[in-house]
Amino acid sequence: MEMGICYGGIPTRIHNNSMGIRAYDYVEFYVGSAKMVAYWHAKAMGLDIVGYKGPETDSRDRTSFLLASPDNPNFKIMITSALQPETYDVQNFVNRHGDGVKRWSVEVDDVEKTYAKAIENGATPSEGPFKLEDKDGYVMQARIKLYDDAEINFINFDNYKGLFMPGFEKPRFNFQVNKQPTGLKGIDHIVGNVYINQMDYWSQYINASLDFETFIEFGPGDISTKYSALLSKVVRSKDEIIKNPINEPYDGLKKSQIEEYINEYRGSGIQHIAILTSDIITSVKNLRENGVEFLDDPPEAYYDDIASKDFGLTEDLEKLKELGILIDIEGKGYLLQIFTKPIGDRPTFFYEIIQRRKGASGFGQGNFQALFESIEREQERRGNL
């Protein structure tokens, strides 16, 4: 079955991979207080709260808020917290990691088939195919393990006509969130941080399980500053719908930012999600107005260097500079990107906002230097460098 996924404004793509993967679907966070984190995503990130599950809907052990982008209802974030000490999956996760991403989902043609194939290919099972059902039909899901405590979730909604999935209702309250529109259109890529010497293991695990391929890799010396370094490999579905970079720490003079993540997160896990926009200047301006904090602006010299190059930049460089947006030139194309500070209490998970121009397909390798120096300044403030 073919399904064109439209990220309103981003070109429609017909999927073409052996696992029947159509697109990214919801990402679920486990957090201490779902209502508070949902409010932040609504107010700061400009998402709408579109679904709710909790005691009022007969969910006694946990509460979940579903948020979606007003610019693309297929861009979905679920925020979940435990309502009881015995809700072990959530409580144990949050106790160890703090707030973080428990699972990211891909919509597939046939959950049972994709799951069976993944297991046959060597994926570690987490939860076999299960059906959630109500008067509006049913939703199928199945899960495989990823990193220490995360999961990849397969999902299919073809036989469901209700709101999101059984168990969810329209939110019964109104936060009266006053916010600027942020134009967020969907997930571009999701990045994991793993322990030293584990990057190859996890890239092979994902490549084998999901029939993905390694797109690019960065070895010793490719990504380093004076103090810290990392290794990185990007695995992706062969039709490029799903992109999953994986980082591991590498020896530098001081502590790698990946090592800081692993120490603070107490393990390997999801480092950041990159969100697509088709107008990064407006998105970042409004995200800033909504209260999102971004990493420090790059130095003046960074923009002087960009200004000296002729690559057909269509945006106003002064505006990019004013907003601290990074530019990575890539052959005939370029990408624009910016990184938030960690959104929670620990220096772990953050968001990236990204716009790809003229076919750019990379991940901002040219910006790593500027970016990491900025992260290091933050690390130093925390006494972790």
Count of residues binding Fe ion (CB under 5 A)?
Answer: 2
Neighbouring C-beta atoms of residue 332, cutoff 10 Å: 11
Closer to Fe ion by CB, 114 or 203: give it.
Answer: 203
267-286 residues in contact with Fe ion (CB under 5 A) are: 274
Q: How far is the CB of 339 from Fe ion (least distance, A)?
A: 8
Question: Which residue among 28, 149, 328, 352 contacts Fe ion (CB under 5 A)?
Answer: 352
| Nearest residue (beta carbon) to Fe ion | 274
Closer to Fe ion by CB, 328 or 352: give it.
Answer: 352
Q: How far is the CB of 352 from Fe ion (least distance, A)?
A: 5
Residue 295's alpha-carbon distances to 124, 130, 378, in angstroms, are 36, 41, 8
Q: How far is CA 19 from the centre of its chain?
A: 21
Residue 353 in the binding site for Fe ion (CB under 5 A): no
Of 24, 6, 29, 74, nearest to 244 (Cα)?
A: 24
Indicate the burial class of 219 (C-beta count within 10 angstroms; 0-12, 13-18, 19 or more).
Answer: exposed
Distance CA 78, CA 57 (A): 16
Distance CA 23, CA 275 (A): 14
Q: How far is the CB of 243 from Fe ion (least distance, A)?
A: 9
Tell me the pairing of strands 62-69 and 333-339.
unpaired
Closer to Fe ion by CB, 28 or 352: give it.
Answer: 352
Distance CA 149, CA 194 (A): 11
Closer to Fe ion by CB, 118 or 235: give it.
Answer: 235
Neighbouring C-beta atoms of residue 170, cutoff 10 Å: 9
Q: How far is the CB of 269 from Fe ion (least distance, A)?
A: 15
Cβ within 8 Å of residue 243, ≥6 positions away:
188, 189, 190, 215, 234, 235, 236, 237, 363
Q: How far is the CB of 135 from Fe ion (least distance, A)?
A: 41
> What residues does 216 pair with on adjacent strands?
234
Closer to Fe ion by CB, 168 or 368: give it.
Answer: 368
Closer to Fe ion by CB, 352 or 373: give it.
Answer: 352
Candidate ranges 20-28, 117-125, 139-147, 352-360; the one touching Fe ion (CB under 5 A): 352-360
Q: How far is the CB of 245 from Fe ion (least distance, A)?
A: 6
Q: How far is the CB of 355 from Fe ion (least distance, A)?
A: 13
Positions that interact with Fe ion (CB under 5 A)? 274, 352
